[in-house]
């Protein structure tokens, strides 16, 4: 799949950092390998050497530019043929507030063990972001700069 240039933030010899195409959440990034492999051990050594510093640079840029409350990096994909990629997800205060106000997600509290009601974890917030900002045809209103403005700000941070 070709990533439209308007979504690309930064590129290296082995990786492409872009805004997630179907995300209304500003700053939801994808860090994908230019090499189509299914496992880390299949990546070129040079790609592996670039990965850690690039993840750190991505986190630093997002935290400095967007100042989210939390920042997650995770690998979830397992479809053969897609390049290895990571989801880089900022969680803003206003996103977490939306999560707590949405009664549909209170059922998740019944699965928490020994945690107070006001504590959640990355899996619950990631699910919320996926469902509400990536899959809904009418996502919640964004507070702060939109996707296009965030892409431009992050490009500057990487230049």
Q: Residue 62 is part of a domain; what is its CATH number?
A: 3.30.428.10
- Residues 9-58: pLDDT tens digits? 999 999 999 999 999 999 999 999 999 888 889 999 999 999 999 999 99
Domain count, the chain: 1
Q: Which two tokens stand for residue 13?
A: 């010899």
The pTM for the full model equals 0.90
Whole-angstrom distance, CA of residue 158 vs CA of residue 82: 25
Give the total residue count for the chain: 159
**Is 107 or 111 the better-scoring residue by pLDDT?**
107
Whole-angstrom distance, CA of residue 89 vs CA of residue 81: 23
Tally Cβ neighbours within 10 Å of residue 129.
24
Phi, psi of 34 (to 5 degrees): -80, -15
Q: Which domain holds residue 110?
A: 5-158
Q: Which two tokens stand for residue 114?
A: 């020994």
């Amino acid at each position: 799949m070709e990533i439209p240039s308007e979504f690309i933030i930064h590129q290296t010899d082995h990786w492409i950092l872009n805004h997630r195409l179907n995300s209304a959440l500003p700053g939801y990034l994808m860090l994908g390998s230019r090499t189509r492999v299914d496992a880390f051990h299949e990546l070129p050594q040079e790609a592996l050497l670039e990965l850690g510093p690039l993840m750190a640079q991505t986190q630093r840029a997002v935290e400095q530019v967007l100042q989210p409350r939390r920042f997650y990096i995770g690998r979830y994909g397992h479809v053969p043929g897609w390049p290895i990629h990571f989801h880089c997800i900022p969680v803003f205060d206003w996103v977490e507030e939306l999560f707590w106000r949405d009664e549909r997600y209170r059922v998740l509290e019944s699965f928490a063990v020994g945690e107070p009601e006001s504590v959640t974890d990355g899996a619950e917030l990631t699910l919320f972001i996926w469902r509400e900002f990536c899959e809904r045809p009418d996502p919640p209103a964004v507070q702060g700069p939109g996707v296009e403005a965030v892409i431009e700000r992050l490009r500057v941070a990487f230049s």
